[in-house]
A and B are shown apart, each in its own frame.
Chain A
Amino acid sequence: GAVVSQHPSWVICKSGTSVKIECRSLDFQATTMFWYRQFPKQSLMLMATSNEGSKATYEQGVEKDKFLINHASLTLSTLTVTSAHPEDSSFYICSATHRDRYQPQHFGDGTRLSIL
Chain B
Amino acid sequence: AQKVTQAQTEISVVEKEDVTLDCVYETRDTTYYLFWYKQPPSGELVFLIRRNSFDEQNEISGRYSWNFQKSTSSFNFTITASQVVDSAVYFCALSVRAAGNKLTFGGGTRVLVKP
Which of A34, A49, A104: most chain B CB closer than 10 A? A104
Q: Could you tell me the distance between the alpha carbons of A108 and B105 in the complex, rounded to whole angstroms?
A: 16
Whether the pair B43, A97 counts as a contact (CB closer than 8 A) is no
* Interface status of A107 (Cβ within 8 A of chain B): yes
Q: A residues bordering B, Cβ < 8 Å?
A: 32, 34, 41-46, 49, 91, 93, 95, 97, 101-102, 104-110, 112
Smallest CB gap from B37: residue in A: A107
Smallest CB gap from A59: residue in B: B102
Whether the pair B44, A44 counts as a contact (CB closer than 8 A) is no
For B88-115 the 0/1 string (1 means CB < 8 A from A) is: 0001000101001111111110100000
Interface size class of B (residues with CB under 8 A): 20 to 34
Q: Contact partner of B44 among A34, A41, A46, A107, CB < 8 A?
A: A107
Q: B residues bordering A, Cβ < 8 Å?
A: 33, 35, 37, 42-45, 47, 50, 91, 95, 97, 100-108, 110
Whether the pair A105, B107 counts as a contact (CB closer than 8 A) is no
Interface secondary structure of A, over-half rule: strand
Whether the pair A46, B47 counts as a contact (CB closer than 8 A) is no
Asked, given contacts A43-B108, A44-B91, A104-B50, whether A97 binds B101 with beta carbons under 8 Å apart, the answer is yes
Residues of A contacting B107 in the complex (Cβ-Cβ under 8 angstroms): 42-43
Residues of A contacting B100 in the complex (Cβ-Cβ under 8 angstroms): 32, 49, 101
Give the distance to chain A from B24, nearest Cβ to Cβ, in Å: 15
Q: Could you tell me the distance between the alpha carbons of A49 and B95 in the complex, rounded to whole angstroms?
A: 13
Residues of A contacting B42 in the complex (Cβ-Cβ under 8 angstroms): 109
- Give me 11 other A-B pairs in contact (C-beta within 8 A), A43-B106, A95-B45, A105-B103 excluded: A32-B100, A32-B101, A34-B102, A44-B105, A46-B103, A105-B95, A105-B101, A107-B44, A108-B44, A110-B44, A112-B43
Q: Could you tell me the distance between the alpha carbons of A93 and B91 in the complex, rounded to whole angstroms?
A: 14
Give the distance to chain B from A58, nearest Cβ to Cβ, in Å: 12
Asked, given contacts A43-B91, A43-B107, A44-B91, whether A102 binds B101 with beta carbons under 8 Å apart, the answer is yes
